[in-house]
Structure 1
Amino acid sequence: MLKLRLLTWDVKDTLLRLRVPVGETYSAEAWACGVQVQAEALTQSFRQAYRAQSLHFPNYGSDRGLSSKQWWMDVVMETFRLSGVHGKEAVRPIAEKLYRDYSSAHNWELLPGARDTLQQCQRMGVPMAVISNFDQRLQEVLTRCGLRQHFDFVLTSEEVGFAKPDKRIFLEALRIAGVSPQLAAHVGDDYVNDYKAAREAGMHSFLYKSGCQPLKKGAEVPNAHILPSLMHLPSLIEKG
């Protein structure tokens, strides 16, 4: 078993996931405001808008003077524009409502085994924290989903100023916890941002890979480091 003094977690698609696809949520909110646009069109437009915004203003534009709220508002506005809705005044209240809604528990659900795994790790006495490429709303999301109490601290890329796979966000977590890398491990679902990045910071890491999803081409992960379910984790670790 691996002796640990710190266990860090990714959140999206590791502990929490969206209840319904983005396009469906955007479409439902638009229809409620009298704007008719299909979910399929919004899904495609969102991917395009999100990709472009992330390229031009990485990490929520934190080094360009943007707030994460403005960053997301721009993504939503562009998503609707690409879907054929050009009236900014009609879209703005939709964007405001969507920004608020994604802070609530309504749009998120726990992945199977997430709560039980966190509770078991906590009973084992392993200190835990979050390292996530999320914006400032994450504290509120975790609180409303009933998970915040499991973590000693939460680091978001917006707060720290650099995003995974930049190893500095992992090093900041180690600094806060006062723990050396070899006594820490990270759990996440992304090979580059979570598994590989944590290892490059000197930490142990586990890749959560549910179902029959194949590893990314070129990914090298020993079977012992792959979690087919979150409930596999407690048997692999112990308090350092």
Structure 2
Amino acid sequence: MVLMATRTRFSQLFQATLNQKSLKTLGRSRHESISQRHFSSVSAAATDAEAVVGSRGVGLEIFGLKDYIDYRRALYGEITHKALLVDAVGTLLVPSQPMAQIYREIGEKYGVEYSEVEILTRFRRAYEQPWGRSLFYWACKRTINTLFRYVNDGRPFWQFIVSSSTGCSDSQYFEELYNYYTTEKAWHLCDPEAEKVFKALRKSGVKLAVVSNFDTRLRPVLRALNCDHWFDAVAVSAEVEAEKPNPTIFIKACELLGVKPEDAVHVGDDRRNDVWGARDAGCDAWLWGSDVHSFKEVAQRIGVQV
């Protein structure tokens, strides 16, 4: 009851800092859209309140707190989060070689003539195109397979991407390329200290999950890299039938771990998919490469020394 009252009081204080008078003084600054935001959790409110008032020299210190982590510890104790959610590609692991290089090298024997620059340009153009049929069609047919990129093994989507990127529709080329990205050779871990850090987190009672927009190859990839056992759960969009930034996939990850969203923090390299998506689900979120730069730093912010 005391903890609940404390949370409620902090939430009220932070919401008070975002009254209409304060927002009006911000004018046309990058924070003006905050006035329309519905805070889904105390942690989201605290983060945005700090961003708005902190930039004007008024922040968490007005509540006797030196920073946001101090705020979390005031609510939860020394360990600030019960669970850590981790993005896969770009955070936990990255391709060992540039994508365009692999597409070209494997494709040479199948007649691919585009340069790596051309392949990369065409890849980006294809990847950014809306995938599946229209929302109207989906609404009428009620079939999820027409909407998501990563459904089951993701083959239809990746066949489209490969042929669009290289101009080659040879099925043998696609199969060789597709299978390559299931092997250990195709990937390496972003942080060489990841295993040590994750062991320390789990020893301290922090649960771990991977949350990724990926097809069903993700689990074999994690096994190939011998890191699947580091995690208590894996929430992959192809299985959850929801892609980041949809909050559903983050909520599902929390359910798999047995924690509430407000007790979890997600770390990922994409501001829209990872940070905004996680916060919309009620989780805390840190941007990889900006808020945090290593898993050791993540652990320290949570309150676990490695």
Q: Give TM-score scaled by structure 1 length.
A: 0.80
The structure with the largest strand share of the pair is: 1
Change over 3 Å in CA distance of 1:62–1:69 after alignment to 2:
farther
Q: Give the match for residue 70 of structure 1.
A: 156
Q: Are the equivalent residues in 2 in contact too, given 1:5–1:126 (CA < 8 A)?
A: yes
- Give the secondary structure class of the aligned counterpart of 1:8: strand
Change over 3 Å in CA distance of 1:161–1:122 after alignment to 2:
same
- Give the secondary structure class of the aligned counterpart of 2:145: coil
Deviation at 1:141, TM superposition (A): 0.7
The structure with the largest helix share of the pair is: 2
Distance 1:114 1:175 in 2: 24
Deviation at 1:46, TM superposition (A): 1.2
Q: Give the match for residue 92 of structure 1.
A: 171
- Give the secondary structure class of the aligned counterpart of 1:134: coil
Distance 1:12 1:117 in 2: 18
Is 1:200 the equivalent of 2:265? no
- Give the secondary structure class of the aligned counterpart of 1:115: helix
Distance 1:206 1:35 in 2: 40
Deviation per residue, 1:28-70 (Å, 9 max, x gap): 0012445444222211111112222xx1339xx9531865112
Q: Are the equivalent residues in 2 in contact too, given 1:126–1:238 (CA < 8 A)?
A: no
- Give the secondary structure class of the aligned counterpart of 1:179: coil
Q: Give the match for residue 9 of structure 1.
A: 86
Q: Give the match for residue 177 of structure 1.
A: 257
Distance 1:16 1:204 in 2: 21
Distance 2:163 2:243 in 1: 24
Q: 1:57 aligns with which of 108, 132, 141?
A: 132
Deviation per residue, 1:203-235 (Å, 9 max, x gap): 12222116xxxxxxxxxxxxxxx1132221111
Q: 1:190 aligns with which of 265, 270, 274?
A: 270
- Give the secondary structure class of the aligned counterpart of 1:56: coil
Q: Give the match for residue 207 of structure 2.
A: 127
Deviation per residue, 1:133-154 (Å, 9 max, x gap): 1111100111111210011111
- Give the secondary structure class of the aligned counterpart of 2:266: strand
Deviation at 1:18, TM superposition (A): 1.1
Equivalent position amino acid for 1:99 in 2: Y
Q: Are the equivalent residues in 2 in contact too, given 1:30–1:37 (CA < 8 A)?
A: no
Name stretches of at least 5 consecutive residues in structure 2 with no aligned partner: 1-77, 134-142
Q: Give the match for residue 186 of structure 2.
A: 107
Deviation at 1:96, TM superposition (A): 0.8
Q: 2:243 aligns with which of 163, 187, 209?
A: 163
Deviation at 1:159, TM superposition (A): 0.9
Number of residue pairs matched? 213
Deviation per residue, 1:103-139 (Å, 9 max, x gap): 1111111112333332332332311111111111100
Name stretches of at least 5 consecutive residues in structure 1 with no aligned partner: 211-225
Q: Are the equivalent residues in 1 in contact too, given 2:84–2:209 (CA < 8 A)?
A: yes
Deviation per residue, 1:143-175 (Å, 9 max, x gap): 111210011111111111111111111111222
Is 1:28 the equivalent of 2:102? no
- Greater Rg over alpha carbons, structure: 2
Distance 2:233 2:181 in 1: 21
Is 1:38 the equivalent of 2:108? no
- Give the secondary structure class of the aligned counterpart of 2:209: strand
Q: Are the equivalent residues in 2 in contact too, given 1:191–1:207 (CA < 8 A)?
A: yes
Taking every aligned residue pair, what percent have the same amino acid on both sides? 30
Q: Are the equivalent residues in 2 in contact too, given 1:77–1:92 (CA < 8 A)?
A: no
Distance 1:56 1:182 in 2: 32
Q: Give TM-score scaled by structure 2 length.
A: 0.64
